[in-house]
Amino acid sequence: MKIFFVFLAVFATLFAAPAFRHTHTYTQSDGTKFQAKPQGDEYLHFLKTKEGAILLYNPATKNFDYAKIENDRLVPSGIPYMPKNTKLRKSAVRSPQPTITLQELQKVYMKSKERFLHHRH
């Protein structure tokens, strides 16, 4: 019985673990590669670049977009992340990217946690 409770505690911890926070290489739909670290937990998760950009995957475009805040949630902005060292084609324009402060991110995190806990009960 004691082994069962130890197993249960370990199993429950696996689902509440923070994101694996090592740098990974990601690829945009056009083949552009960039590096970022997963951040967050079961309440809120995103990618963070070394420049500090907060990114979310946009399944509609198959790109990692700059994140923006809408209705106390992180959502893809529709502006694909472009690493600063990427050379632009003459016709391309680097769009202004949304910036999210630490205070805004903390507020979104708390709202996400509240929603998550509220839906569990």
Contact present, 87 and 93 (Cβ < 8 Å): no
Q: Is residue 81 part of a domain?
A: yes
Contact present, 56 and 65 (Cβ < 8 Å): yes
Q: What is residue 3's predicted lDDT score, i.e. its pLDDT?
A: 57
Tens-digit pLDDT profile for residues 33-81: 999 999 999 999 999 999 999 999 999 999 999 999 999 999 999 999 9
* pTM score over 0.85: no
Q: Which domain holds residue 67?
A: 18-120
Q: Is residue 86 part of a domain?
A: yes
Q: Is residue 72 part of a domain?
A: yes
Higher pLDDT: 79 or 14? It is: 79
Q: Structural domain tally of the chain?
A: 1
